[in-house]
Chains A and B, each alone.
Chain A
Amino acid sequence: MKLTLKIWRQRNAADKGRMASYELDDVSPDMSFLEMLDVLNERLIIEGDDPVAFDHDCREGICGMCSLVIDGTAHGPQRATTTCQLHMRHFKDGDVITIEPWRASAFPVIKDLVVDRSAFDRIIQAGGYVSAPTGSAPEAASIPIPQADAHDAFDAATCIGCGACVAACPNASAMLFTAAKITHLGLMPQGQPERYGRVTAMVDQMDAEGFGGCTNTGECTSVCPKGIPLETISRLNADLLKATAKG
């Protein structure tokens, strides 16, 4: 396949940045999207150009490092799929593909397509944990958990912290990410002691990082590679309002 790539190039955080255009002649439909970028980068290196910086690590959809807004959609056109798991067979010969970084003031661009997502780390640090001393693993059945709660908590726990929810949200809100952790821990008996302090601290941190507020548009869920459901946000709202009422 022949492709035209329009890629955001930005030398560093201070650089203004611009879109640059590249032609690729020999793209195999079996390549992953990132492999396609690898091919471009090999060529750029040979030609003495600066390769395009983009985030990636596991390339198997589990680490949350890869990103990219592809033709206006975070993680590209295939639902419930990370960019690293997206394959070029979803594109056609002659396509023009625009590739941009996540856009949010809380995710400043470091270089090209790489953004700094440490705001997410700080939200987790503010309360996304349980303060349990970790000795040896307890007897498995010693804490009974209803099946439905276990399922919902597990669904929420599959968030890989990629930030696509923020990238897709018209308000650049981090609610889906934060709500996934609130839901995960809030449904577990182990999460109860810190439940209300956690939600207040995490929402405070989320606001302090400069993310926008949620307006329930649902864009986040539809791009989330893990399909984190919108109801997690309502669970967060319920916990925050309870915490606020308690003072």
Chain B
Amino acid sequence: MSWTYQKIGHMFRNVSSVSRSTPVAAPRRPQAPSTAALPRRLYRSSVGKKAVMAVTGGILVLFLVGHMLGNLKVFLGRADFDHYAHWLRTIGEPALPHRVFLTIMEAVLTVAVILHMWSAVSLARRARQARPVRYAVRPKAQEHRYATHVMRYGGIIILLFVIWHLLDLTFGVVNPKSGGAEPYDKVVADFDPSRWYITVFYVIAVVMVGLHLKHGLWSAFQTLGWGRQRRYRGLHLFADVVAALLVIGFVAVPVMVTIGVVK
């Protein structure tokens, strides 16, 4: 295909009452096929960054589903729950050394979180620069989707929560029990009725995750190119159901400990 014709450039707008002060730049030639490595090509465009966010977000969602199912083992009793926690460290043995699988998982999740946030921050900065002067009348949201409007600030709350959560139940730094205590004991001590405010904090954070996913899951399909008018209802329903199930599943454990059902 020859590119000569594109020099013509298609002006499609009438220039009326006011003459334009900015000259129209010479038409750009479409890029020669880029030889840059795939990650760099992806990261060059706003759309590529969004795709990175969708894929890493998807990895995190899969993790959350597994994590939630694991948490629910608390209801099967101390032995089941602690056994499950130990099993996580022995996956793949004897082919894999002790804790190798878990370490790989942790590394993947860490990289996913970093890439996800990196894209989010970079796109948020681009958006801020794209509208330097704000509207005097706050634009009315035509689409009344609360979840959509709390993605960025909600994301920051989720991040703070994740840090607290790791210090709490993974490392035991802010847990009444030490890091080396049995998982079941740590959970029960953490959400003791006297520490109801910790439970409230967890519930708020998990609801934020739910809101994040209500928009995020649907958005990820749209970002990866599967969004079509005829699928939107189904995709929204899917996102809402997954988000709701995750919220219920995650909230169940701390709440049940605090009201004394799990001791």
Q: What is the interface of chain A, defined by CB distance below 8 A to chain B?
A: 6, 8, 13, 19, 53, 55-57, 63-65, 69, 71-73, 98, 100, 103-106, 108, 110-111, 114, 116-118, 120-122, 124-129, 131-133, 161, 168, 170-173, 193-194, 197-198, 200-201, 203-207, 210-219, 222-223, 229-231, 233-241, 244-247
Also in contact, A126 and B50, with CB within 8 A (given A105-B132, A110-B21, A216-B219): no
* Chain A residue contacts of B25, Cβ below 8 A: 122
How many of chain B's residues touch chain A, expressed as a range? 35 or more
Q: Which of B16, B41, B136 contacts A57 (CB 8 A)?
A: B16
Binds A, one of B29-37, B98-106, B175-183, B199-207: B29-37
Residue interface mask B171-203, A partner, CB < 8 A = 1:
000000000000000000000000000000000
CB distance from A38 to the nearest CB of B (A): 12
- A111 and B225 CA atoms in complex are apart in Å by 39
Is B35 a contact partner of A247 (Cβ separation < 8 A)? yes
Is A234 a contact partner of B30 (Cβ separation < 8 A)? no
* Chain B residue contacts of A8, Cβ below 8 A: 136
Q: Which of A125, A172, A229, A246 contacts B9 (CB 8 A)?
A: A125
- Shortest 10 CB-CB distances between A and B: which pairs? A238-B225, A234-B227, A213-B46, A222-B142, A212-B130, A171-B127, A172-B130, A212-B127, A72-B137, A201-B30
Chain B's closest residue to A111 (CB) is: B18
Is B131 a contact partner of A172 (Cβ separation < 8 A)? yes
* Chain A residue contacts of B232, Cβ below 8 A: 230-231
Given A171-B123, A218-B148, 8 extra CB contacts under 8 A: A55-B17, A69-B135, A69-B139, A121-B13, A168-B139, A212-B127, A244-B41, A245-B38
From residue 1 to 58 of chain B, which have CB atoms closer than 8 A to chain A?
1-6, 8-14, 16-18, 20-22, 24-25, 27-31, 33-35, 38, 41-42, 44-51
* Chain A residue contacts of B136, Cβ below 8 A: 6, 8, 19, 98, 100
CB distance from A99 to the nearest CB of B (A): 9
Count A-B contacts at CB 8 Å.
Answer: 241
- A204 and B49 CA atoms in complex are apart in Å by 13
Is A231 a contact partner of B229 (Cβ separation < 8 A)? yes
Is A71 a contact partner of B30 (Cβ separation < 8 A)? no
Is A114 a contact partner of B18 (Cβ separation < 8 A)? yes
Residue interface mask B114-147, A partner, CB < 8 A = 1:
0000000001001101111111111111110100
CB distance from B216 to the nearest CB of A (A): 9
Also in contact, A237 and B28, with CB within 8 A (given A161-B13, A172-B127): no
Is A129 a contact partner of B10 (Cβ separation < 8 A)? yes
Is A13 a contact partner of B131 (Cβ separation < 8 A)? no
Is A56 a contact partner of B135 (Cβ separation < 8 A)? no
Question: Is B258 an interface residue, CB under 8 A from the partner?
Answer: no
Is B45 a contact partner of A240 (Cβ separation < 8 A)? yes
Q: Which of A13, A120, A218 contacts B21 (CB 8 A)?
A: A13
Also in contact, A117 and B30, with CB within 8 A (given A6-B136, A13-B21): no
Is B142 a contact partner of A223 (Cβ separation < 8 A)? yes
CB distance from B34 to the nearest CB of A (A): 6
* Chain A residue contacts of B22, Cβ below 8 A: 108, 116, 118
Is B131 a contact partner of A126 (Cβ separation < 8 A)? no
- A58 and B178 CA atoms in complex are apart in Å by 74
- A6 and B228 CA atoms in complex are apart in Å by 40
* Chain B residue contacts of A6, Cβ below 8 A: 136
CB distance from A35 to the nearest CB of B (A): 15
CB distance from B42 to the nearest CB of A (A): 6
14 contacting pairs across A/B (C-beta < 8 A): A71-B137, A73-B142, A110-B20, A121-B24, A168-B139, A201-B29, A219-B142, A219-B143, A230-B229, A234-B226, A237-B50, A241-B48, A244-B42, A244-B48
